[in-house]
Amino acid sequence: MYKVFVNDVPIILSTKKDIGEKYTSFPIKKVKLKRIIKQINKGELLYVNLYHEKEDKLLKHLFKKLPVVTAGGGMVFNDKNEILFIYRNKRWDLPKGKTEKGEDIAASAVRETEEETGIKDLKITGFLAKTYHIFKRKGKFRLKVTHWYEMHSNYTGELIPEEKEGIEKAKWKNFEKARKALKKSYANIRELFPKKYLPGDSKNRVA
């Protein structure tokens, strides 16, 4: 099963036609995806399931329907076990950005994290997950696939938010502050965190 977010509404990709009464199901091979996205944006659809009996076909069909943008991002911890957040568009987020042509995805995750926050001495300590979300640019819907890495840094210097990217703040947050920040974050970002960080059940969260 996969979740593909349109704003904070997840489209579920599954091998089952029926995943619950509240879900409207469509075969992913034949679905008019752009029409579904517009309905979600209008608030006409909130629970969508796109299905195919073969799990390995789900993403293949999705990738045929929308141009794919590959990105890398980081969940950065310091020696105090604090997490590095950025603040942009009135939401708390984690640093991430587009992978350049020919660039290694992990290297792009480190580069983008450094550029967006001013942090140094980053080391990747593991792979976290991939997230999928749909956005619109120049009048066209696109699918962003972000590869997230867990990182560590012992950097104690000043954090410098990348203002030209609209980032207003770059802040270290302890457990309690991280939980508070996640209330004003994105659903796909909350997916990266263990449940202990989540203040109650997130809207449309699927176990």
Strand partners, 142: 135
Per-residue pLDDT of 150-191, as tens digits, reads 999 999 999 999 999 999 999 999 999 999 999 999 999 999
Give the number of other CB atoms < 10 A from CB of residue 72: 25
Helices (H), 66-207: 105-117, 175-182, 187-190
Mean pLDDT of the chain: 94
Q: Which helix (H) or strand (E) holds 27?
A: strand 24-27
Three-class DSSP category at 119: coil
The CATH class of the 68-197 domain is: alpha beta
Per-residue pLDDT of 52-106, as tens digits, reads 999 999 999 999 999 999 999 999 999 999 999 999 999 999 999 999 999 999 9
Q: How many CA atoms lie within 13 A of 48 on its CB side?
A: 26
Distance CA 93, CA 78 (A): 17
18 contact partners, CB below 8 Å, separation of at least 6 = 25
* Mean pLDDT for the stretch of residues 8-31: 96
Percent of the chain past pLDDT 90, that is, above it, reads: 94
**Confidence label for 108 from pLDDT (cuts 50, 70 and 90):** very high
* Mean pLDDT for the stretch of residues 45-50: 96
Write out the residue limits of the CATH 3.90.79.10 domain(s) in the chain.
68-197
Q: Is the pLDDT of residue 200 over 90?
A: no
Three-class DSSP category at 60: helix
Token readout for 118 is: 């001013």
